[in-house]
Amino acid sequence: MPQPKAFLIQVRVAVNPDGSLSKPTITSYYDGAPTDPLKVNVGDHVGWLVQVVLPSTVRNPLPYRLDFSGNPDFFGTSSLNVPSGGPSPFLPVLAVQAKLKYTLIIPGLEKIDPDIQSGGDTGALGGLGKAVPTYSVFWDTAYPANPMTYSVGGGAQQPFPLKVAVGDSVAFNAINGVAPANFSIIFAGLNWASPFCFDNGKFSATGAPTVIGPLTVSDTGDSGGKFNFTASITVNGNPITSSPTQNDIDM
């Protein structure tokens, strides 16, 4: 068996001249040199780095999360969260021979679903895989009664309604608030309590005080239905609530 190696998977998102974001590009490196495909074996270590590239070529880190729930034995964990961005911890490959399809989740962008295989020097990291639409919802708390807007994959904001499908990802953002706290959204349920959970219709910010999610659309029982929701937040000590009739998520 070869000596263990360390690999870095770099994901870059470029800011276009119009301010929109490009599709992420992914490159794997071993010893500073690109590797295509990436070959891994048990004992190797794999790390990630996600960056946004500005027009000035400056690269800023982005927060991200890795979901290994399809095969948690591959790295010995089901997920890895890097909330401050930058390089992730390097995870050891524990599977002697296995295939892992994992998900890289960058809030506000598309999810990326690459593959890693281990065993016999034949492991390969796939390309971008299937790009899953990721939506960002924006609530301007300076004008809480105004309709919300949303963007797709970091693109231009557009008006509701927002139409989603199972597997899509949605993040909710409260903007322009001073000293924000207690941000939450509540859905008027259909057959499911929300597009994201059968029995839960309320979601709250758990990390950054102005961001909820991203949440994965899972509802398989309300095709063609409309989920209305309201948002609430405390801004500068004052509780405010969105309009209850202007924001629909269509299945």
3-state secondary structure the chain: CCCCCEEEEEEEEEECCCCCECCCEEEEEECCEEECCCCECCCCEEEEEEEEECCCCCEEECCEEEECCCCCCCCCCCEEEECCCCCCCCEECCCCCEEEECEEECCCCCEECCEEEECCCCCCCCCCCCCECEEEEEEECCCCCCCCEEEECCCCCEECCEECCCCCEEEEEEECCCCEEEEEEEEECCCCCCCCCCCCCEEECCCCCCEEEEEECCCCCCCCCEEEEEEEEEECCEEEECCCCCCEEEC
**234 and 204 share a domain?**
yes
Find the domain containing 182 and state its range.
134-250
* Single residue among 91, 118, 145 that ends a domain in this structure: 118
Cis peptide before 89 (omega within 30 of 0): no
By CB neighbour count within 10 A (0-12 exposed, 13-18 middle, 19+ buried), where does 223 fall? exposed
**112 and 215 share a domain?**
no
By CB neighbour count within 10 A (0-12 exposed, 13-18 middle, 19+ buried), where does 58 fall? exposed
126 falls within a domain: no
Q: What angle do CA 16, 178, 83 make, to 5 degrees?
A: 55
**91 and 182 share a domain?**
no
**10 and 105 share a domain?**
yes
What is the Cα–Cα distance from 68 to 25, expressed in whole angstroms? 20
User: How would you write the pLDDT of the chain (251 residues) with one tens digit per residue?
Assistant: 567 788 888 888 776 666 566 677 777 777 666 665 567 888 888 888 887 776 666 666 778 888 888 788 888 888 899 888 888 888 888 876 667 778 888 776 666 766 665 554 333 333 333 445 678 899 999 999 888 999 887 778 889 989 998 878 888 999 887 888 999 999 988 889 999 988 899 999 987 788 898 888 888 889 899 999 999 999 989 999 998 767 889 98
Tokens of 127: 């390309």
* Confidence (pLDDT) at 64: 84
* Confidence (pLDDT) at 123: 35
* Confidence (pLDDT) at 239: 94
* Confidence (pLDDT) at 51: 79
**93 and 160 share a domain?**
no
Tokens of 247: 């924001």
Count structural domains, the chain.
2
User: 62: domain CATH number?
Assistant: 2.60.40
**107 and 42 share a domain?**
yes
Model confidence, pTM: 0.53
196 falls within a domain: yes
What is the Cα–Cα distance from 31 to 21, expressed in whole angstroms? 29
Of 192, 205, 84, residue with least CA distance to 139 = 205
* Confidence (pLDDT) at 109: 65
* Confidence (pLDDT) at 120: 46
101 falls within a domain: yes
125 falls within a domain: no
User: 196: domain CATH number?
Assistant: 2.60.40.420
**20 and 106 share a domain?**
yes
